[in-house]
Structure 1
Amino acid sequence: MCGTQIEIDFNLRELVLPMKIKKRSICHQCDQEFERLGGIRCDGCGRSQKSIDLCEDCQKWEHQVGFVINNRSAFEYNDAMHEYMKQYKFTGDYRLRSVFTTEFEKLISKQQPDVIVPIPINKSTWQTRGFNQVTGITSNLRLIEALETINGSKETRQSKKNRAERMSSKQPFKLSGDVEITKKISHQRALIVDDVYTTGRTIYYAANLLLTLSPMSISSVTLAR
């Protein structure tokens, strides 16, 4: 991220035993700028708070859609994460996909999902950026791409919208036209993965579609909250 050369101090076990040395893609100083989420959090969206009770936003979601999705995130969306997303997503630096892969995939695996469904990107983004930022970070996992974007949707970046604009946005997704893919959701523990949970609008739109496929349960994991 900062261009500093990373120096690795090997321990005796790594030097003596025939094992693969894990490469670091971020220096200690940059790593310390990211705030890992822990402690007491909302039982719905995963927001840090004083109790596990549903926060005000999740109570609104429960009233609006009839359920609350259980979301867990690895990091707080602070200034460092904002700059990371800017460089990774909007500048299109694909090398940065590996910075959080290990931690993010561990959090995903901890949820014990049967199927993992990534949030898709539209054709325009594919043409300009060349990759899906979510599947880039989760490249070591088997993903079920059960969702597609609707033509003409999500043209305005979510990051450019205020809360009211996000909440009033139209359904941007549709189920995949591949019946064999959508069949894999039925009676399974489905996990939606995305990069950032802001208002929850994107996650709930995705969840509403997946619910029509009769999964056993639906939850979500995002890199940042």
Structure 2
Amino acid sequence: MSYCLYCHEPYSEAWSWEALIGLKQSPLLCQDCEGKLVRIKGEICRICGRDFSVFPEQYRQDDCCFDCIRWEENDTWTGILQQNRSLYVYNDYMKEMIAKLKYRGDAEVVKAFYPVVSSEFKRISRDALLVPISLSEERHYERGFNQAELLAGGLKKQVESLLKRKTHEEKQSKKTRVERLSQKENPFEVVDSLKVKGQEVILVDDVYTTGSTLRYAAKVLIEAGAKEVSSITLAR
């Protein structure tokens, strides 16, 4: 008998030879919780990884969504973020799950996503430098952990905390889309440029919303000498 990492209810695992001989990791969520999560599959935006099946056809052009086209048409941001790959649709259930992780201190929940995140990382690049999006000192103290670092920790690869937040600011979740996109000053700085120079970098964060956080982080890494920057996020 196992206990779900999210709802904490007991559940029986489906029996299989793979699980018996250790080739398949036991699920950490019960079937009910797992069933409420929506994996991003099929046609996606080439850059941000947005699921084309969940928004109207008129908001895309070929293999890019209009959001990414607008980013790429801006000379400041062209080519800054190579690609983002998100694992799940940010539906109401995922929103609640991330809130439980970030705001109610249930850090164990993140372990349920380690197998999927690890698989996606290997698909993008096994050799890239793994850099979590940083929190301000105040926010880190408030939560007691950085959820991006916890997520990156499941990849069984050295995590390089090379980004630093310059100042404490209002939570991104409290800002409107316009406020996120109109931000002028880059909130990030690179801690050690020597480790970045000439490297492929994969950023790790919990949610891709407008893409501004990841692009600002990617920009300072590119300016510090990174060869290219991509990202993995839990939800989109």
TM-score higher than 0.5: yes
Q: Which runs of 5+ in 1 are unaligned?
A: none
The answer as to whether partners of 2:190 and 2:224 remain within 8 angstroms in 1 is no
Cα offset, 1:72, TM superposition = 1.0
Cα offset, 1:54, TM superposition = 2.0
Partner amino acid for 2:160?
A: I
The answer to whether the aligner puts 1:7 opposite 2:20 as a matched pair is no
Measure the CA separation in 2 of the matches of 1:13 and 1:173: 44
User: 212, 220, 223: which is aligned to 1:212?
Assistant: 223
Matching residue of 1:59: 69
Matching residue of 2:186: 171
Matching residue of 1:41: 44
Cα offset, 1:66, TM superposition = 4.1
Cα offset, 1:192, TM superposition = 1.2
The answer as to whether partners of 2:197 and 2:227 remain within 8 angstroms in 1 is yes
Matching residue of 2:167: 151
**Percent of aligned pairs sharing the same letter:** 32
Measure the CA separation in 2 of the matches of 1:205 and 1:211: 10
Runs ≥4 residues deviating over 6 A: none
Task: Indicate the RMSD between aligned Cα atoms, in angstroms.
Answer: 1.9
Give the direction of change, closer, same or farther, for the CA distance of 1:67–1:88 in structure 2 (3 Å limit): same
> For this pair of structures, how many residues does the alignment match?
217
Cα offset, 1:71, TM superposition = 1.1
Please give the residue correspondences for 1:1-225 in structure 2 after superposition, counting only pairs within 5 Å: 1-12=6-17, 14-15=19-20, 17=21, 19=22, 22-49=25-52, 52-64=62-74, 65-68=76-79, 69=81, 70-112=83-125, 113-139=127-153, 140-152=156-168, 155-169=169-183, 170-176=185-191, 179=192, 182-225=193-236
Q: Map Cα deviations across residues 41-62 of structure 1 (whole Å, 9 max, x no partner).
A: 1111111226652221111111
TM-score if structure 2 supplies the norm length?
0.85
TM-score if structure 1 supplies the norm length?
0.89
Q: Which runs of 5+ in 2 are unaligned?
A: 1-5
